[in-house]
Amino acid sequence: MAETYSFFTSKELRPQGWLRRQLKLQAEGLCGNLDKVWPDVRDSAWIGGSREGWERVPYWLDGCVPLAYLLEDDDLIARVGRYIDCILERQEPDGWICPVPQCDRKKYDAWAILLLSKVLVRYYECAGDSRIPDALCRMLRNFYNLLRAEEMTLGKWGSYRWFEGFPALRLLWRLSPEPWIRELAMLLREKGKDYRTAEEQWKRPLNRWTRDTHIVNLCEMLKSEILSCDLLGEQESGLAEHFYQLLYAYNGTAVGTFTGDECLSGTSPTQGTELCAVVELMDSMEQLYAYTGNPVWAERLERVAFNALPAAISEDMWKHQYVQMVNQIDCTPFPGRSHFRTNNSEAHLFGLEPHFGCCTANFGQGWPKLTLSSFLRSADGVVSAVPVPASVQTEWKGVPVTVSLDTEYPFRNTFVYRVEAGADTDFALSVRIPSFAKRLSVNGKACRRQAMLSFRGFAKGTTELRIAFEVEPVLERRPDRMYCLRRGSLVFALPIASESAVVEYEKNGVERKFPYCDYHIRGTGDWNVALTGRQFRVEECAVGEIPFSGSQPPLRIAARLCHIDWGLEDGFETVCARVPQSRKPLDEPRERILIPYGCARLRMTELPLVRPD
C-alpha cells in the first residue's frame, strides 16, 4: 500500500481564489440560509421544534459546519453552534441524544446516530469544543448497550451505512482506547450489510426500489473497508476498487458518477444521478485517496467534483436538482408517467426540495469537504492532493510552515506554490500530477511526467515554485458507440438555449418563494447533433465571480458538429432517445461551442461521431 495521508482541519486550511468565491456563493445561497427558510431545519425536533428529527439537521450541519469555519463567517459559526448547543443540551443522562421518547427508541433508525457522530467529530475539529468527546462517548456507549441488549437495531438505513460511525469510534479510541469501542465496531460490522452479497443486482438495473441498489448507499459503501479496517484489525484488500469497477462498468456516466434515480439505472445518458450520491461519492473518494495514497481516487474525485457537483446546483446556489441527466434537454415536469426508474416526474427540476428533501440538506458537504482535501498531511510534510487555490498553515519539527497555491485549475494548468518557513527546514512538499498532464515543467524547465513531484528542504523565508503542464482535448468512448469530449478533469457539453419560469407555491407547509422557489427550464435550442471530427480549438476566458457560469464559462471548446435525426424517448417530448435513431448527417458540419459540463444546466454530453475527419 502507498503512503497514508491525514486531513488538516478548517483551522489550518483556507480557500482562496475561485474556490473561496464558490464557498461564498454557497454560504449566501440555500445551504447558508436553510435554517432560516426550510421548516425541516428551522423548526426541527433536534432543537425542540416539531419538524423532522432524523437525518436532515445532521446532513445540513455536515456541510455547513466546515463551510462556516473555512470562511471564518462569524454569523454562520454562531448559527451552526446554536444547533450543536441544542443537541448537546438535550442529551439524556444515559447518553441517548436523538429527539425521540424512550418508548420509540427501538423503532428509531440508527442512521441518525451514525450520521450525527461524524458531524460531532467535524465540529470538534473545527471548533475545538471540549464538550464533544464526552458527549460522543456517552452517546455511542449508550448505542452499544442498546444494540448488545437487543433493545435497538441498526434499522433499515443504519444497517446499510454501519461504517459511518467509525470516524467517531476512531477518535474515541485515540483519546481513550476502551474495550467497548472495538466491541461496538465489531457489532456494527456483524449487524451491518455485507455488500458482496448484492453485487449481482448491480449488473442489470430494474424498475424496482431496493436498498441493495440504492445509489447513495453504494456511494457511501465504497469507503466502508478503509474506514473500518483499523479498528477491526484487518488489512485493506482493495474492496473499494473492486466495487467501483463493477458499478462503473454497468452504471457509469461520462462525469465519473453512477446513475441512480434513486436506484442503479444502467448506462443511459438520460437516466438520473441523485445529488446526494454525487457528494457522498466525493466524500468516499477523498477518504480513499487519503487512506490508500492511490492517485486514481484523487483523479476520479476531480472528475466528479468539477462536473457533476456544479451541474446539479443553480449558479446562485439557491436551487438544486434531485437528479441530473448527462444528456438533459429539458427540466420541466414529465406529463403522465415519470421517465426515471424510481423517482417522480419532478426529480430533475431545479428547486427547494424536488422529489425529496434529503439532497436539500445534504448537498452542502460537497465544496467544503473538497477544500479540506486540497492539502493533506504526509509523513514528511504536505501533499497537494487536489490542486485548487488554497493555503495551509502547519508546523514541521517545531518550524511554522505555510504553503499556498495560486491557480485557476481546473480551468488553467499553471500553479504557483509559495512555501513560507520560519526557519531552515527539511519539510517536504509533494505535488500530485494527474495522468493526463502533458509537457510538464517546473520553474520553466521541462521534466518527465511523474505521479508525484517532491520538493524537500526549504530555507527560511519564502520559496516560490512554478509548475505547469498542458492538457489536450480527447474524445472518450462511451457505451453504444457514443463519445464525450474531455479536457483534463473537465467534461464538455453542448449547451442548449432555454427559457426559465419561476414557480412559487406552498406544499405541506413548506413555502417556495424567490430565491428559494422552483424553476421550470424549458429547452428552446437545437440538440440533435453529432460530432464530425477530432479537431478542437480551445478558448480560454476569464474565470468570473461565478466560476461555473453558463453565460461566461471560463473555457470554451470549438468543435465541428452536424445535425442528425436523433429522435425522442418513446412516450416523451422532453427526453432525447438513449441513442440516435439515425447517425446520417442532415447538413454540412459547422463550428459550435461546447462549454464545461458543470456550466451547462441543459446540455448534450454524449454524442455520436459521424463522418470523422
Can you tell me the mean pLDDT for 467-477? 98
CB 310 within 8 A of CB 360: no
Which cell numbers hold the place of 76?
454562520
pLDDT tens readout for residues 380-398: 999 999 999 999 999 999 9
In a 3-state reduction of DSSP, which class is residue 407?
strand
- What is d(CA 216, CA 263) in angstroms, rounded to the nearest whole number? 8
CB atoms within 10 A of CB 528: 18
- What is d(CA 188, CA 158) in angstroms, rounded to the nearest whole number? 9
Q: What does the DSSP assignment read for 163-225?
A: GGGHHHHHHHHHH---HHHHHHHHHHHHHS--GGGGGGGGSS--S---GGGBHHHHHHHTTHH
Can you tell me the mean pLDDT for 159-173? 98
Q: What is the pLDDT of residue 612?
A: 61
Residue 54 confidence (pLDDT) above 80: yes
Amino acid at the residue 234: E
Residue 1 confidence (pLDDT) above 60: no
Element (H, E) at 302: helix 295-303
CB 207 within 8 A of CB 341: yes
Residue 611 confidence class, pLDDT cut points 50, 70, 90: confident
Can you tell me the mean pLDDT for 13-35? 98
pLDDT tens readout for residues 592-605: 999 999 999 999 99
- What is d(CA 598, CA 312) in angstroms, rounded to the nearest whole number? 8
Can you tell me the mean pLDDT for 147-174? 97
Angle at 164 between CA 194 and CA 46, to 5 degrees: 130
- What is d(CA 406, CA 411) in angstroms, rounded to the nearest whole number? 13
Element (H, E) at 117: helix 111-127
CA distances from 519 to 27, 189, 318, 514 (A): 21, 43, 11, 10
- What is d(CA 426, CA 434) in angstroms, rounded to the nearest whole number? 26
- What is d(CA 365, CA 10) in angstroms, rounded to the nearest whole number? 13
Q: Please return the burial class of 89, using the count of CB atoms within 10 Å of its CB with bins 0-12, 13-18 and 19+.
A: exposed
- What is d(CA 446, CA 396) in angstroms, rounded to the nearest whole number? 30
- What is d(CA 365, CA 320) in angstroms, rounded to the nearest whole number? 14
Q: What is the pLDDT of residue 3?
A: 82
The CATH code that applies to domain 378-407+414-470 is 2.60.420
- What is d(CA 77, CA 66) in angstroms, rounded to the nearest whole number? 9
Amino acid at the residue 548: F
Which residues contact residue 245 at a Cβ distance below 8 angstroms, ignoring those fewer than 6 apart? none
Element (H, E) at 405: strand 399-407
Which residues contact residue 5 at a Cβ distance below 8 angstroms, ignoring those fewer than 6 apart? 289, 290, 291, 293, 376, 377, 378, 383, 385
Can you tell me the mean pLDDT for 346-371? 98
pLDDT tens readout for residues 194-207: 999 999 999 999 99
CB 378 within 8 A of CB 5: yes
- What is d(CA 548, CA 527) in angstroms, rounded to the nearest whole number? 21
Rg value, the chain, Cα: 24
- What is d(CA 152, CA 215) in angstroms, rounded to the nearest whole number? 26
CB 578 within 8 A of CB 569: yes
Amino acid at the residue 607: L
pLDDT tens readout for residues 473-529: 999 999 999 999 999 999 999 999 999 999 999 999 999 999 999 999 999 999 999
Residues of the chain with CATH 2.60.420: 378-407+414-470
Which residues contact residue 194 at a Cβ distance below 8 angstroms, ignoring those fewer than 6 apart? none
Residue 274 confidence (pLDDT) above 90: yes
Residue 2 confidence (pLDDT) above 70: no
Can you tell me the mean pLDDT for 314-318? 98
Can you tell me the mean pLDDT for 91-119? 97
Which residues contact residue 315 at a Cβ distance below 8 angstroms, ignoring those fewer than 6 apart? 25, 546, 548, 549, 550
Residue 552 confidence (pLDDT) above 60: yes
Residue 345 confidence (pLDDT) above 60: yes
